[in-house]
């Protein structure tokens, strides 16, 4: 298995074919520099859990765009399979289907860059990366095949990361907009004392 890049590292750049706007296009990750990127890997289009994730991402796509983020969904399916998936499945459950690029990675080259290509099954593993406007990975998650991810949690993390980037403040457990943030860690080594500004009820 290839190494999974860590938080704080530059997101590996790639160029790949994708279905976007009903036609085949070529995309390059670095072309999205200056905005957030939600890079999603799924095992396959016509599977059990993956369609629910892509449909949820499609429903929440306007929310991602409001936060200055682009969504890229990657699988080993060819572009024509993405087209069939879009036209025969997604548009039946989400108006307009997926408005974000469905990236084709038939050789697993992109998945390998991110340590998520399963060479034995020739599919991607289920996982995603949040990449900041500077092209640096700020969050990642890898899930077992039966476990679908939460778009609500990805959006929550994106909002929290944007808050920290804008203010330098830290976002405690379960942070949502409007809840208390915390000052940066004191480099002198003094105790942080979060309890002075945060209570456990704020996590829920």
Would you kindly state where each structural domain of the chain is located, as residue ranges? 15-149
Nearest of 204, 164, 169, 167 to residue 185 by alpha carbon: 169
Arithmetic mean of pLDDT, 68-92: 97
Arithmetic mean of pLDDT, 69-82: 99
Q: What is the model's pLDDT at position 1?
A: 63
Sequence-ordered list of residues with C-beta below 8 angstroms from that of 137, at least 6 positions apart, any chain: 5, 6, 7, 8, 9, 10, 11, 129, 130, 131
Is 50 an annotated catalytic residue? Answer: yes
Say yes or no: domain 15-149 is CATH 3.40.30.10.
yes
Q: What is the model's pLDDT at position 124?
A: 98
List the structure tokens of 36: 């957030």
pLDDT per position as a tens digit, 13-32: 999 999 999 999 999 999 99
Q: Which helix (H) or strand (E) holds 78?
A: none
pLDDT per position as a tens digit, 171-201: 999 999 999 999 988 777 777 789 888 999 9
Q: What is the model's pLDDT at position 22?
A: 94
Q: Which residue has the tokens 């004191």?
A: 186
Q: Which helix (H) or strand (E) holds 140?
A: strand 137-143
pLDDT per position as a tens digit, 34-65: 999 999 999 999 999 999 999 999 999 999 99
The whole-model pTM stands at 0.95
Q: What is the model's pLDDT at position 174?
A: 96
pLDDT per position as a tens digit, 111-144: 999 999 999 999 999 999 999 999 999 999 999 9
């Amino acid at each position: 298995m290839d190494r999974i890049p860590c938080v704080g590292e530059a997101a590996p750049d790639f160029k790949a074919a994708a279905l976007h706007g009903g036609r085949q296009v070529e995309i390059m990750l670095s072309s999205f520099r200056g905005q957030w990127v939600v890079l999603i890997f799924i095992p396959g289009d016509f599977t059990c859990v993956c369609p629910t994730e892509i449909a949820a991402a499609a429903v929440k796509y306007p929310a991602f765009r409001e936060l200055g983020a682009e969504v890229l969904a990657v699988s080993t399916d060819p572009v024509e399979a993405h087209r069939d998936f879009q036209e025969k499945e997604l548009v039946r459950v989400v108006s307009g289907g997926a408005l974000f690029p469905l990236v084709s990675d038939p050789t697993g080259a992109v998945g390998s860059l991110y340590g998520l290509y399963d060479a034995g099954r020739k599919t991607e593993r289920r996982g995603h990366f949040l990449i900041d406007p500077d092209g640096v990975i700020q969050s990642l998650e890898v899930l077992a095949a039966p476990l679908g991810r939460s778009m609500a949690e990805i959006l929550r993390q994106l909002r929290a990361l944007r808050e920290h980037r804008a203010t330098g403040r830290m976002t405690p457990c379960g942070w949502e907009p409007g809840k208390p943030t915390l000052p940066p860690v004191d480099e002198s080594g003094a105790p942080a004392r979060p309890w002075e500004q945060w209570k456990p009820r704020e996590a829920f």
